[in-house]
Structures are given as C-alpha cells and as structure tokens.
Structure 1
C-alpha cells in the first residue's frame, strides 16, 4: 500500500480530542507540534492541520525550523490512550514537497492542501470523530537514510490531535452554577418563612456541592499533565473559581494592568503566527528546544528560563512556540490572558458580593412595600424585616466563606506573578482580609459556644437561641452538630494549605499530587471518624464527597507517572475519573434538586427531616407569631437573654458585655419579677461555685406550647427545667397562656 505525506498529516489531524459540539461536520485537527527527544533537529513554531473526511482534504499550515540536511524517512506512530494502533514509514521524496526532499536547514514555511486517499480515510475508525476528548497523538521520528548517520533518528516531533468534540460544555457550566445558586437562594427564602430545619439542610447540601465543584476545579489548576478528558472536565467547574471570560472585561483589565505599571501578555494575539503547547514539564521542553543552540548560549538561557518559570509559565521556546501549564493552562483554555486571570477572579467575586447585597436590600424594600399595601401578611418574613442588617452581614460572611478557596489560590499565585504593583496590593488586601475575617469569625463562634457550655452545659443554647448569633455567625456552624462547632477551623486550615500547594508548586506536579493525597486522606478520615455534620444524611452526603475527592487525588498521583505505568493505564484512568465524577456530580445535583423542590411543595418541609440530636430546634426562636405585650413574653425574652426587639441578649460584638445577675435584675425589675439569677444564687453557689448563672429561671416554662389563649389563672404546675436545675417554689405571679411561639423546626409534626 502506497503512503504519502498526506496520510500521517491526515491521521495527525484525525485522532484528536474533542473540542466543540457545534461542529457541523466531522473534523480532525492538531494545533501544536512538540519535540519528543533530546537534540531534536526539527521543530515548529506554528503547526495547524485540519482534516475533513467528507471531502478527503487536509489543510496544513506549518512554520518549521530544521537543522537536518539530507534524505530522510518519517517513522510515524499513532497512539490512542497510550496504545499504539498504527506504525508506518513515509518517504517524503515520493511527494512533491519543497524543502523536505532532501531536507534543508533553516526556516521552512509550508501552507498547502493535501488530497487524502480513500484507503487512508478508511483506516480511521468512526469513533475517532465522535468520542469526546479522545486521548490520541501522532509521533514522528525523522531518520537519516544516507551519510554517516544513516538509520539514526535526528529529530522527533509529536502532535496531540482533536476531533472537535469535548466534555467542556457551556451547558454543563450553566446547569451546575444555576442549581447550586438557586439552592442557596431557596434556603434563604425558606429560612425567612420560618422553616429553619429544612433551610439548614438545603444550605448545607448546597455548600457541600459547591465545595465539591471547587475541588474539581483545583485538579485542573495543578501543574500535573492531565489527559484531555480530565482537562476538559475540570474546566467545566472553573466558574466556581471566578474564571469566567467576558470580552469587554478583559479589555478593561488589560488597560488597568498597563495603567498600573504592568505588562500584559499577548498570547492570544499571537495565535495566528505561533503554536501553544499545553505541557507540564515546561523546563524539560524548553531544554529540548534549546538543544539546537550552542552550549555557551544555551546554559545561561536555561538559567533565565528557570527563573522565568518560577515567575511566569508563559514561556516562549527557541522555536517560537509557547508553553502553558497548570493555572495558565486553565486560563488559556478559558480564553483569558494569564496576566488578567487574577483580576478576573477578583472582579467576579466583588460583583457577586455587590449584587447579593443589592438583592437583599431590594427584597427588604419589596417586603415592606408588600406589607404596607397589604399584598402580604404582616407577619411574613418578620424576622428578616426586623433584623435584615444582621442577616445581610451573615450572608456576606457566607459569601466570604464560599469565595475563600478561589481568592486564596489566586492571591497566592499573584505573589509569584507580580502582574503589576497595584494587583499585588489587591492580592495582599483580599488574602489577609478574608483570612483574618474568617479566622476572627471562627474564634467568635468558639467563644460563644464555650460561654454557652459554661452557662448552660450545652453549646447549642446560645448558638441557636440568640438570633444575632444565628443570623450573623450561623454560616460557620449550622451545618455541623452543636458539639462540633469548632470543625470550621480545620476546614479553613485545609482550604488554606491546599491553596498554597496549588499556587506555589506549579512547577512540580508530583509535589502537588502528594499534598492532595495527604490532605484528602486526612479530610476523609476526619469526616468518617468525627462525623461532624448535623445529621446522618448530611454526614453521608459529605463523607461521599470526601471519598470521591480522595479517589481523585489517587488518580492525580497516577497522572504524574511516578509509578512508571504504561501510557494506556494513564489514558484509561483519565476516562474513569471523568465517568465516575460525572455520575457522582449528577447524583448530587439530583439529590439537591429533589430536596429543594420538596421544601417548596410540602406543607411542612421541616417534617421531612429528623430532629437533630443536639436539640437545636428547641432553642431557635421564631418571631413570626411573637407577641411582646404579655408578661410571659417579656419574661421569656429575659430567659432567652434577649434585649428589646430583634437583637439577642448577648452583645456578640462586644465581649465585655454578658448576661449577669445584675443585668437580669435590671431587665425584670419593671415586671416586679424576682431575678432568676438572684433567687438561684444561694442554691446554685454550692453546686457550681464561681460559675456564671444561667439566665433561664427554672420555675418558668422556657418554651410555651402553641395553642389559643386562655383566661388568666393561677397554677401550681411547674414544668421541669430543660437544663436540669431543681424546682423552685412557685412564683406568686399570675400568668396568661403563652403566645404561640414555634418551638423550632422539626416540632410542628
């Protein structure tokens, strides 16, 4: 069978990884040519081949640099998932191609069309045109056929090929983003309606799913050489890191960088004249490209390349092609200049915060307008309307927690890039600002919980009974059981350490893979042993995510090729990672959608969830039906530690102020009620010397039962205190039937 140069070129363009599902006809293409041996005498700064099987034509556009002189033969090998499927020798002298027979030294520009024979087309399997992100490449050895080096390989080049189909789909990005976003919004609305239990479950699942998306994105940000399908799959979740391209925004960010003394990269402006190589081992590739340069020049240039690699990954080799890997590989695939990547993520995070704050303020105004015009009952969203400033603070804190992985990676990475002085200042401000803010918030939660344990022997009391604590700091602990309030600290530490390895170890994918393996193993062990989330379902949901992240870290270690496995194994593992994570993500999305839908279409969505073991719902106060005109309401507010109105009794912004017997006495004097702390001081001092006194009076019912009001009457019935305190003599006061407080989510059924 006669082979021409058209055959390898056609197959080079044929066994490609998928790119875009919009292609109307099957194509096979390649956009870069990489060297694959030391001292390679042939390279290309521009290499574009597009083969269309329908018209049997391959368009070739090459700008090659050669130091080979003489007659040569091309030894062509074609691999799919590391498995060699074709090996064939091609003699360029049998084709009429100028500069290849014999090969001459110098720059060889070629731009031509080749008619591909029917026999060559038939050898390409049909799956090559349809399977997404097919991991295939063509490797060509150039062997001398005459002279002293006859039979020796003087050059080696290889090209990754694509067929225009990919799993990097815009629809996947929109679907995942919309589901996660709507789930978070739904949890906020349901919480405002008074279904705290259901809202907490939906919010916890949405946050965990968002964290899983960010973990997928981090795999793509590593400097490990990933199979094509893994690169495309992880690219689907880069939106969760703020890596989203808007054309006008890129122009503004480029102008900003120039205005602040930076030098923007112009990689995309050069694509018509140079190729971009997606590579992990950029230094080894640069060394191979420098093999054509005399040693006296190559050594200092290599030193410069090493320094440049530590600062920036957009390296231009001696052949003129560019190398991108790791974070800049993600930026290139997203169509973003690497020097704009940090500002892109920063701007999207700031826009998210601004739009959310504006939406909350608009919702508050809309609620007030609806109540004023009697479009909505007066008690609807009452708790939100009374304390919307505190709710807004809690929402902004939650957004800070969501954006923490994104901003930590981008800010730390900006320290290595130094795109401009102003951008470095912004990176310092946001990194330390967000880290200190979340660290301070976590310490605040720990102090509140410890105070609750000291006063009430239960961390859930103040954490869930005080509306200010719940609305402002609840984003850090509501997803955990009350006794695991501290678990947010290891979560933040895990995120910070992981981000440091992603940002600072871009030049060593093996170090990143080992760090990921250790961190994910620790996370899985901690989640499985401690089971810190609120209930069994939520624990199972999060442990499954930790397990999948651990499996992904094992796959990432395999991609580093430290085990010297056959290339076929690497290709198959890449497919397994994609299929397993696609199925897993689909299951999580369906679970979250079902949970959210049930919340809106069930009469009592809280009844779907079990009562939490920490009994948090007993301490939650719903103000939907709160009436503050009766003596019992006022006394119950004192027992809860509430100040007037919405704010809780503990001034959580001022640690110097706390509930004491004096403060309780002042709050109850106007009711002519003996202070609970004062009456209990004598009996309690013996059992708990030196302890602060609980604001709950054991003789008073802390949680009134729902029901219609009854006429005032005396009673000798004294319910047991929920805190285990002994019964006290009956109070001489007359009490009315309690107002219909809700005990909390989960008690309505």
Structure 2
C-alpha cells in the first residue's frame, strides 16, 4: 500500500517540481511516501503507485485495494498542493476508468493498472521548471467519498518527488574525505605546536557542525535546506546506513530499560512531518478529508486497525501523536534515526572514535619502543621523541574533545527532555561529565598558569604549549583566553537547541546574539598572531551572522510564503557551499602544497644561477632572522640568547679587517671594506664577502626549527666549496 500511495504522490509531484538532473532520465514526478490522512472505514488501499510523465502528459498508476462493505460507490477527489498553492482540485468518476471495475467497489482484493492522459486544462498548469529544481515541496491527497451520503471512506496523502535533492551521497563522501585528508596532514604538522593546519582542521569541522546544528531549531525550514544540512550530519556523529543493525540494537536496549517512544524505521520520515510545515505547507490538509462515518461497527474498526498494522501504513493527522515536530525530530528521522535514538547513536560513535584514537596512540608508542630497542636513528632524536610523545597525545585528546563537545552536549541535553529509557539518560550523564572534564580541565590549567605567572609562560613552557596549545597557541599572548568565548557559546547553543525547542523565534534570536558577539570580539580585539588569521576568522563569523539573520524568515509565526522560503533556502545553501570552498582552499594553502611549485621554480637554470649569486646574502639573512626569532621566543623552552655563555677577549692587533694589500694588517682601507660588505660583521669586525655565508653563532637547539629546503643546503655547500677553491688559488 505504501508504494501505491507513493505513486499517488507522484501525481501531486506532477504538479510540483522535478530535479536538477532530470536530463539524465525522462522528466517525471513520482510519489515518495504515503500515509492515511484519516482512518479508513470501508476501503483499504494496499498499493497506489502513480507517476507523471511530462513527455506525453500522462499519469500511470497501479492500484491494489480491498473493500469491507458491499455496494459502495465512491468518487475520488484529488487535491495537489505545491508550495502552498493548490493548482489541482478535481473529482474523478471511478466508474469511468478501468472499464468500470471500481464501480461499485469490489469486496475482494482488486489489483489493476492503467495510464490516462490528463486534460489540457490540468497538464498546462505544470511549468517546465518543476522538473529542474531540487527538493520540490508538494503532495497529493486522494479522498474517496461515498456517492449519495458524502461520507469519507478513505483518505490518502502522498508526498511527491522528482528524484533531485541537495542531499547527495557524493557530497557526504567528499567532505568526509577532505576532513580525513586534513586530519592526516594535521597529524604530521602537529609536531610543531604553533602549526596552522591543526587549527584549520577544527575550523573545518566546526563549519560542518554549525551548518548541521542550524537545522535543529524549531523553524519551518524549506526541504532544500534540511537536505543540504543532512550532508554534514556525520560531523555530529549521526550516520545513516542501509544496515539498521545499530538502530535495532538501540531500540532493543531502550525497550528493556523503560523506553516508550517510537523506534526507528526504514520508511520515509517526510510522511510524518507536521502538516503545517514543509513540504505540506497546509493547515487544512488533514481536515479537508471530512468526517469519518460514524456508522461503522466497533468490530470493523478493530479489523481495519489490525490490517493497517500488518501493512505498516500509518495514519497521520494534525492531532496524531506520531507527528514529527521541527528541529531534532525531523532532522534525525530523515536519516532513519528515531528521535529517542539520537543520543545513543552519538554515544556509540564516540565510543568507536575513542577506540580508534587509542589504537593510533598505541601504535605510535609501540613504534617509539621499537626505535628504542633496535636503536633506529640518532639517540638524541629518539629521546626527544619519547619525551614529546605524551604531550603530543594530550594535545590530540584535547582536539578530539573539542570536536565531540557540540554533539555530546546537544544530544545529551535533548535526551534529558525526552524522559525515555533510564539507561540512555545514565549514559548521557556520563558522557556529559566526561566531555566537560576533557575540555574544562585544560582550560583551568591554562588560566591558573597565567595567574601564577604571566601569559608568556604559556608560550615558553614546553609542557603547557605542547599539551594545551590547541586552546590558545594561535592567539597573541595578551589574547590567550580568546578560546573561552567559543567554548561557552557552543555550550549555550546546546542549551538553546535542547531546552528552548518550543519557540523558534527565541532560538534564532539567541543564536544571532551569540554569533554577533563572537564576530565583534574578533573584529575589535584581533586576537590572532597573524593578520590573515583575523581576516579568516572574521569571514567565518560574518557568514554565521548572515545565515542566522536570514533564517529568521523561517519562523512559523512570521508566515513567510513557501516559495520565498524555498528561494531563501537555496541562497543559504549557496552561501554555505562557497564558505566551505574558501575553508578548503585555505587548508590547501597551509598543507604545504605550494612547496611543490616553489621547489620546481628553484630547480630551473635561471633561478639556480640567480641563487648562486645571492645565496650568501639570503642564507645570512635567513639564519640571522631564525636566530633572532628563536632567541626571542622559542616555543620549546630553549635558551633565548644563542650567543656563547663566556666572551673570549680578542687581541685588537689580530682582530683587524682582512686586507690583501696589507700583509701585516696594520693598514686598513675602511671605506673600501665598508663598500664591499658593510652589513656582515663578526665580533665587531667587517669580513670580506667570501666569509659572509657562514655567520658565526653558537649552535643551539633552534636548528631543529630550520625549515630550509634540501636544495638551499646543497646550494650553500656548493658556494662554500667554490669560494674556498678560489681563495686557495689566489693565495
């Protein structure tokens, strides 16, 4: 029966809209879900599949039904609602189709199919764009009314689809793959606690999560926005799968621990959406079916109810208790996760993520032990890695905690509002306490360290920087606490989504206030060390403010018409898509890809020749800058001053500038020497250019931070060898 009613929705979709990729196949509209809009009294429709073909403007249907009353003649009333507009509202004489087989309704199970052409007055109403836009909002309602009495014998509603949607499996896999690639590269870069890419990884996941969370409010979203936001449900640890074994296990667990709410099903959730919301957009869809005949016996009602349960066809009206409300219920149910199963799904995914992290960290530690046992690599390097590894693990545990903070808190709070399954509530409390400790403890350590000393200690103490750097290392020392507003805002968003779910207006206004406050802090305080990071963070904040402001139009009480809401939903989809591309491009720039073409440029003959002429100056400036940077603020706590601890007294007679024309060194042409190389000095003396490529400094651990390419090192050695040969031949 579900498929028959589904086809019925196809008729509605006939007058609705098609999809973006309709050119790949014949333009058509078909039913996507079917429900009874009133309890059937006389006729049980087991199947009513309908599909509209634009090529010949015909409707093909397959009907399977049975009647429990004899000599019942009915007429069919067909109503089509598209974006709140009713372009079709006609009555069909069933005696005139299928050679009169449906007049009167047969008392046996009847199956038949036919194809009829729509009259020009109806088919001309369907605009061509209906077949080219995704996530069309429309439904068809078929009501069987007894001739003579006007009693409603059956009422069926079917939502329509053209096969196109902004939710695409390819988008889910692509964004997930990009996130995984960023994670792997960030793991490699994270040996440096100030590396940019690990922070961009968090920015990317936060962007996906913000899009998904924005679809959890009590708003009348257009279907296209819900579909787009479902592409990023995985960022909230909500994974849809054809294999519902996990959901079945959660259903069983809840049933054994006092759960009484509806379980997850594989049927379409759109059939259970509140009739006031998209895609129905009608306050009278259910009431238009009329009143049910009160002459039926109680026994017949019992028989019909059992038949309905066997066929798994739900009765959904505006007064039903199985109607899905806006927000989390519609969002999670669309991917076949029951509302009461949402938290447990997140909880199980978190357990799996923890297991994967433990395995990766264990493999890393085993590798270090293997290096130690077989003495792979220099001893100093092995000991340094072994000392740094615990801090590296703590830093990544903190990053994983920041990623899981929003999903656990949002759905943990929401689980508390359901009053379902005491075991689910217990797990939610445990998960909430665990994630709060994982995020709050490092925050307290950072703040307490600053109060005991000063902000600079966060950047000079190796343990703090390597372990808790993901919180503050990207910010200036004076703005180290800038991470706190972000965490607090995420916490309050979870409260807004879970505990203020009855007022969409209050939710979106509070969201907007939080986003405005966050972006103003960035614009005014400019907390990042680099100006580009401030611009990037401001861009993301402004996008969130704009999107939150536009979503005010989705508040039900404002009453924006369905077509403007749908257009606004597409605009939000485009804005978020562009933002994602910008973040991905930024990640590509910081992943080291640009080194490929830079290395190619330096390997060309022309660039190699120019490098030979200026290599000594470039290397000197680079080493001088590196020494200055390392000495001023070394993140690993190495000595700030790389000069020797003891100053060796120099003989003024010996410490004279080199002058070939004066063997004794008693006469010096200071002017000529100053012209040759007045910027390269050693202990106060001017050296000739052939010595300028070897600046004197005491070797320190700061050399570990030297990021010179192998080509530069080879070039430097080549320059030294050539100049030394020239010096020997000259002597």
Question: Per the alignment, in what secondary structure is the counterpart of residue 161 of structure 1?
Answer: strand
Using the TM superposition, give the Cα deviation of residue 403 of structure 1 relative to its aligned residue in structure 2, in angstroms. 0.5
Structure 1 match to 2:417 = 416
* Residues 501, 512 of structure 1: 8 Å contact kept: yes
Distance 1:228-1:576 versus aligned 2 partners, 3 A rule = same
State the distance in 2 between where 1:324 and 1:135 align.
Answer: 17
Distance 1:405-1:291 versus aligned 2 partners, 3 A rule = farther
Is 1:232 paired with 2:217?
no
State the distance in 2 between where 1:315 and 1:745 align.
Answer: 68
* Residues 45, 319 of structure 1: 8 Å contact kept: no
Distance 1:169-1:386 versus aligned 2 partners, 3 A rule = same
Is 1:169 paired with 2:168?
yes
Structure 2 match to 1:679 = none
Structure 2 match to 1:588 = 583
Distance 1:144-1:584 versus aligned 2 partners, 3 A rule = farther
State the distance in 2 between where 1:286 and 1:715 align.
Answer: 98
Structure 2 match to 1:262 = 259
Distance 1:318-1:337 versus aligned 2 partners, 3 A rule = same
What is the root-mean-square deviation in Å for CA atoms of aligned residues? 5.1
Structure 2 match to 1:385 = 386
Deviates more, 1:504-513 or 1:203-212: 504-513
Using the TM superposition, give the Cα deviation of residue 11 of structure 1 relative to its aligned residue in structure 2, in angstroms. 3.3
Using the TM superposition, give the Cα deviation of residue 584 of structure 1 relative to its aligned residue in structure 2, in angstroms. 2.0
State the distance in 1 between where 2:519 and 2:44 align.
Answer: 46
Deviations 1:628-685 (A, max 9, x none): xxxxxxxxx7xx7xxxxxxxxxxxxxxxxxxxxxxxxxxxxxxxxxxxxxxxxxxxxx
Equivalent residues in 2 for 1:70-81 (5 A)?
74=77, 76-79=79-82, 81=83
Structure 2 match to 1:338 = 339
* Residues 8, 31 of structure 2: 8 Å contact kept: no
State the distance in 1 between where 2:42 and 2:13 align.
Answer: 19
Equivalent residues in 2 for 1:45-124 (5 A)?
49-51=49-51, 53=53, 58-59=60-61, 74=77, 76-79=79-82, 81=83, 86-87=87-88, 89-92=90-93, 95-96=96-97, 112-117=112-117, 124=126
Using the TM superposition, give the Cα deviation of residue 404 of structure 1 relative to its aligned residue in structure 2, in angstroms. 0.5
Please point out which of 471, 474, 478 is paired with 1:476.
471
State the distance in 2 between where 1:20 and 1:345 align.
Answer: 33
State the distance in 2 between where 1:58 and 1:154 align.
Answer: 23
* Residues 42, 157 of structure 1: 8 Å contact kept: no
* Residues 12, 160 of structure 1: 8 Å contact kept: yes
State the distance in 1 between where 2:66 and 2:413 align.
Answer: 38
* Residues 10, 58 of structure 1: 8 Å contact kept: no
Distance 1:556-1:285 versus aligned 2 partners, 3 A rule = farther
Is 1:505 paired with 2:439?
no
Deviations 1:592-642 (A, max 9, x none): 1232143775789xx99xx99xx89943345xxxxxxxxxxxxxx7xx7xx
Please point out which of 729, 738, 741 is paired with 2:701.
741
Structure 1 match to 2:642 = 704
Question: Per the alignment, in what secondary structure is the counterpart of residue 59 of structure 1?
Answer: strand
Please point out which of 524, 543, 553 is paired with 1:558.
553
Q: Highest Rg: 1 or 2?
A: 2
Question: Per the alignment, in what secondary structure is the counterpart of residue 528 of structure 2?
Answer: coil
Using the TM superposition, give the Cα deviation of residue 211 of structure 1 relative to its aligned residue in structure 2, in angstroms. 0.8
Is 1:714 paired with 2:655?
no
Question: Per the alignment, in what secondary structure is the counterpart of residue 190 of structure 2?
Answer: helix
Question: Per the alignment, in what secondary structure is the counterpart of residue 365 of structure 2?
Answer: helix
Please point out which of 562, 570, 574 is paired with 1:567.
562
* Residues 261, 420 of structure 1: 8 Å contact kept: yes
Please point out which of 241, 249, 254 is paired with 1:252.
249
State the distance in 2 between where 1:211 and 1:743 align.
Answer: 35
Deviates more, 1:376-385 or 1:486-495: 376-385
Structure showing the higher helix proportion among its residues: 2
Question: Per the alignment, in what secondary structure is the counterpart of residue 272 of structure 2?
Answer: strand
Using the TM superposition, give the Cα deviation of residue 477 of structure 1 relative to its aligned residue in structure 2, in angstroms. 0.9
* Residues 16, 128 of structure 1: 8 Å contact kept: yes
With structure 1 as the length reference, what TM-score do the two structures score?
Answer: 0.67
Using the TM superposition, give the Cα deviation of residue 49 of structure 1 relative to its aligned residue in structure 2, in angstroms. 4.1
Structure 2 match to 1:528 = 523
Equivalent residues in 2 for 1:117-196 (5 A)?
117=117, 124=126, 127-138=129-140, 159-192=158-191, 194=192, 196=193
Structure 1 match to 2:633 = 619
State the distance in 2 between where 1:59 and 1:481 align.
Answer: 67
Gaps of 5+ in 2: 295-313, 601-620, 651-695, 710-731
State the distance in 2 between where 1:162 and 1:233 align.
Answer: 16
Distance 1:539-1:22 versus aligned 2 partners, 3 A rule = farther
With structure 2 as the length reference, what TM-score do the two structures score?
Answer: 0.68
State the distance in 2 between where 1:559 and 1:343 align.
Answer: 29
Using the TM superposition, give the Cα deviation of residue 380 of structure 1 relative to its aligned residue in structure 2, in angstroms. 5.5
State the distance in 2 between where 1:557 and 1:424 align.
Answer: 33
Distance 1:342-1:544 versus aligned 2 partners, 3 A rule = same
* Residues 398, 475 of structure 1: 8 Å contact kept: yes
* Residues 18, 27 of structure 2: 8 Å contact kept: no
Using the TM superposition, give the Cα deviation of residue 72 of structure 1 relative to its aligned residue in structure 2, in angstroms. 6.7
* Residues 7, 61 of structure 2: 8 Å contact kept: no
Deviations 1:316-351 (A, max 9, x none): 658979422321222222122333221111111122
State the distance in 2 between where 1:517 and 1:29 align.
Answer: 39
State the distance in 2 between where 1:617 and 1:712 align.
Answer: 17
Question: Per the alignment, in what secondary structure is the counterpart of residue 116 of structure 1?
Answer: strand
Distance 1:35-1:253 versus aligned 2 partners, 3 A rule = closer
Deviations 1:12-67 (A, max 9, x none): 1433575999997654223446899x99999999886441638955335698999x
Distance 1:13-1:75 versus aligned 2 partners, 3 A rule = closer
Equivalent residues in 2 for 1:373-452 (5 A)?
383-452=384-453
Distance 1:93-1:536 versus aligned 2 partners, 3 A rule = same
* Residues 170, 236 of structure 1: 8 Å contact kept: yes
Using the TM superposition, give the Cα deviation of residue 214 of structure 1 relative to its aligned residue in structure 2, in angstroms. 0.4
Using the TM superposition, give the Cα deviation of residue 587 of structure 1 relative to its aligned residue in structure 2, in angstroms. 2.4
Structure 2 match to 1:323 = 323
* Residues 73, 90 of structure 1: 8 Å contact kept: yes
State the distance in 2 between where 1:94 and 1:525 align.
Answer: 69
Question: Per the alignment, in what secondary structure is the counterpart of residue 323 of structure 2?
Answer: strand
Using the TM superposition, give the Cα deviation of residue 208 of structure 1 relative to its aligned residue in structure 2, in angstroms. 1.3
* Residues 45, 275 of structure 1: 8 Å contact kept: no
Distance 1:108-1:580 versus aligned 2 partners, 3 A rule = farther
Gaps of 5+ in 1: 296-313, 454-458, 623-636, 641-700, 717-735
State the distance in 2 between where 1:711 and 1:267 align.
Answer: 72
Please point out which of 537, 548, 572 is paired with 1:542.
537
Deviates more, 1:419-428 or 1:158-167: 158-167
Using the TM superposition, give the Cα deviation of residue 563 of structure 1 relative to its aligned residue in structure 2, in angstroms. 3.2
